[in-house]
Each structure stands twice: as structure tokens, then as C-alpha cells.
Structure 1
Amino acid sequence: MNADQPGPAMLQLDRVEAWYGESHVLHGISLEVRAGEVVTLLGRNGAGKTTTMKSIMGLIDQRRGSIRFEGEETVHLRADKVAQRGIAFCPEERGIFATLSVTENLMLPPRIAAGGLDIDTIHAIFPNLKERANSQGTRLSGGEQQMLAIARILRTGARLLLLDEPTEGLAPVIVQQIARLIQTIRERGFTILLVEQNFRFAQKVADRHYVVEHGRVVDMFDNAMLDRNVGKLHHYLGV
């Protein structure tokens, strides 16, 4: 995919550092995501990809550097204040409440701005969720849980979606459904930053790719460049 007319920078990270206690995880991450783009963070396990997402979302207390969203500095804001500005995070573990129905899970996050999708639109995009509306979270397949986790944040009015490993543990046919879903969301005007290990999946959905190693961005590829750099990506990803 290519962003023929990318919008202005929606998200900008400049030399972001982050710590878990005494553990220094991010060592100066710099990147940007333009309005309307799908951008991936590629890298091995432990490279700092998820920590980057949590830092953007305000879920890491010890941060420094600059994180600007739509021109506003957010690096010192709590997660609830970041969410109110229009960023939503879908974690790898999905966070589905097992004892709640699909509809109850969908309605749980508060709306933070206009522009969120209504339930009828969500059901049109996710017909499986409409069929399972009264099912408890524990009765959903892994793919259905992932769809519910994404659908839930589309209600909120967030404009930037942070998706952490949306294909992890899913069968290939479900991975294809997730790819189509991300394309649909993008066409509706959402901007997406996603963490992904599978660069073949990333190639289907993204405009650009940042490679993260040891808490730093070490390379960036436009999507059209991926095929010409497969050997380099294999080296980065340990394939």
C-alpha cells in the first residue's frame, strides 16, 4: 500500500527514552506517523516495540524525550489524558472481559470524541460480532477476541489506533481477515501504528515500516522497498 497524499505528521517521537524500574528499555526512539497512514514497528522480541506503544499511550511512568500528538506535547501526560486527546491502545493480550458479553465489552470504553463508529457500523464491519453479540468473552475464538478488541476502540472517537501484535497466535485464514479489517479501518480515516513480527503481513497493510533494535530505530522502509530488502529484514528479524 502507498500513501499517495499523506497528511501532516499526526504523531512524532523524538529521542524517546523509557525505563521499567532500573531497566533502560528505549534508548532514543525517533519516528513519525502521518495522518491516514498505516505504519508498522518491526523487530525481534524484546526490541522495545511494545514499550514504544506503551510510552506513546502514557503507560510507562519513566519517560523522557518528546512525544507530540497533533502538535501537542504528551510525554508527561497520564494514560487517561492521552486517551482523551484521541489515541487508543489495543494490547497484545486484548483485554477482553471474560464474564461480559460481546455487546457489553463493546460498550465499556467511554466515548472521548465525536467520530467514533456506532454499533450498526461496527456490526457491518464485524459481522461475526453481531452474530455473537450475547456470547461471553470466554466463548470467543482468538480471532473473534482480536476483532472485538479492535472494534471496542473504534467506538471511542480515537483517531490514532495503536495495535500490538494483532495477528499473534491466529490461523492464516484469520490473519487474512485482520489484514482486510485494517484496510477497511484505514479507508474510514483512522491512522494506525501497529507492532508486528510478520513482515509479510505488514507488507499487505502498511505504508512504511520502522525497524526497532535494542530500543532504537535502526532502519525505515517504504512499503515498495520491502521486496528489495528481504535479506536485510531477515537479518534484523532473525528469520
Structure 2
Amino acid sequence: MHIESAPPMLRVEGLQAWYDESHVLHGIDLEVREGETVTLLGRNGAGKSTTLKSIIGMMRRRSGSVRFEGRETIAMPSRLISRLGIGFVPEERGIYASLNVEENLLLPPRIRDSGMSVAQIFELFPNLRERLKSQGTTLSGGEQQMLAIGRILRTGAKLLLLDEPTEGLAPVIVEQIGRTIERLKREGFTIILVEQNIRFAASVADRHYIVEEGRVVDLIPNAALEANAEKLKKHLGV
């Protein structure tokens, strides 16, 4: 459980980002405390994925403040930010087609000894053990998502950025991803989740940031989602 009086693990203030000349983020403000799971909700193109990419340093041009465990990272390259303990699972999952499951899993370097062992990852995702020598091209969408999450867990990252982890997956796989996130929460991981599936988001998250046109326009506690149904419909079209 997170402690309300403790400083946030991640604090983002006035975050702006550009794709070439296109100004996408216009001052994102958010914070996440250790052990929390929060979602970024919003329509397509609202800036949710760009926010995750900016936090991990993948946007070439960004400004504002991103502090992780009190350390300013806005000027740091992505490779150094990840070594602080932030792991990013992109929407496209980033599985190397020419490598098998085992090779994909072992590819990123461990950044701290607290990373999960391969055996622990197989306990989370038994499907991966069965597909250990299968090439990335032969994996289903669900198996690729499991592999992408497992790969980050092995590194020792403690803040996980998950971009649309349930998109395009069968309901049974979505349920498995949900159980995995719940277990990771119990084990102390902190998670920021970009998600379109409101029902799924409500099943795993503590709070929800509503993103619209590159800004956070609202913050809704999970317990208040139902009471804010009209507001969600306005912002998300659901």
C-alpha cells in the first residue's frame, strides 16, 4: 500500500513534447506514488502514449519537469532513464521477430538484482515456457504482450509504463493480463497504464487521469468512476 504522506515516486510538471514541429503535449501534470496503479484515459490522439514516451525519454524534443524518486530526468537520454528503474512496454510491444522467446526475454540488461528470474516470469506467464524456443513471428498477440511485460520485469524496473496492454487481445488473455497487474501491485510495483478499455482500467487502477488535447483535464479516483459516468462520456465518448 502507498502512503499518502510520502513524496510521489514520479512527479511530472508542465511536460511539453513535440513531433518535429507538431506540438503534442501542452503541460501535462501528474504524480504517481509508490505501489499505485494509475491510468491515462482519453480519446485517440489525446497525448497518452506521448506522455509515456516523454517520461521514458523517447521524445526527441520535450520540456518541463519529470522527477523520478526526486531526480530530474528531463535532460537525460532514454538509456539512462531506464537504468534508474523505469520500464516501458510500447503499444507495438517491440518483440524481435528473428529471436526466440528465450532470446527476447534475456536481451535487455538487468539494472538491479531485484529483477524477476526467468522461472518467476514463467510462473506469471506459463504460456511463455511452452513457447521458449519459438520465434517472435510465431507468437500470438497475447503471447507477445506477455513476453514484452516479462522482459521488463526481468530487468528490475520498479515503475512500469504499459501502453495499451490489452489492445486487440482475446477476453481470456485480457483477464490474465489483469491478474498479472494485480499481482504486480501486491508485490509493490508502481504502474502507469494507457488503456481504452474502461472496464479493464476500473478493475486494476487506483486513480484515472483524463487526458485531452495534450493536457490533464481531470483526475477521478477509481471508486468515483460510476459517479462520474457523464463526465467520462463527455471526455472519452463512452
TM-score after normalising by structure 1: 0.97
Q: CA deviation at 1:176?
A: 1.1
Structure 1 pair 141/236, CA: closer, same or farther in 2 (3 Å)?
same
Asked if residue 128 in structure 1 is aligned to residue 127 in structure 2, the reply is: yes
Q: CA deviation at 1:135?
A: 1.0
**Equivalent residue runs for 1:82-121 within 5 Å:** 82-121=81-120
Q: Which residue of 2 aligns with 1:63?
A: 62
Q: Which residue of 1 aligns with 2:77?
A: 78
Q: Which residue of 1 aligns with 2:21?
A: 22
Q: Which residue of 2 aligns with 1:218?
A: 217
**Equivalent residue runs for 1:158-237 within 5 Å:** 158-237=157-236
Q: What is the Cα-based RMSD across aligned positions, in Å?
A: 1.1
Q: CA deviation at 1:8?
A: 3.5
Q: CA deviation at 1:232?
A: 1.1
The unaligned stretches of length 5 or more in structure 2 are none
Which amino acid is 2:21 matched to? E
Which amino acid is 1:29 matched to? I
Describe the SS at the equivalent of 1:9.
coil
Q: CA deviation at 1:114?
A: 2.1
**Equivalent residue runs for 1:142-161 within 5 Å:** 142-161=141-160
Q: CA deviation at 1:39?
A: 0.6
Please list the CA deviations of residues 98-149 of structure 1 after superposition, one character each: whole Å capped at 9, or x if unmatched. Answer: 1211111100000112210001111111111111111111111111110000
Give the Cα–Cα distance (whole angstroms) in 2 for the partners of residues 114 and 221 of structure 1: 35
Which amino acid is 2:59 matched to? I
Q: How many residues align?
A: 237
The unaligned stretches of length 5 or more in structure 1 are none
Which amino acid is 1:232 matched to? K
Which amino acid is 1:52 matched to? T
Describe the SS at the equivalent of 2:155.
coil
Conserved 8 A contact 2:2-2:36: no
Q: CA deviation at 1:4?
A: 6.6
Which amino acid is 1:18 matched to? A
Asked if residue 45 in structure 1 is aligned to residue 54 in structure 2, the reply is: no
Seq. identity, %: 63
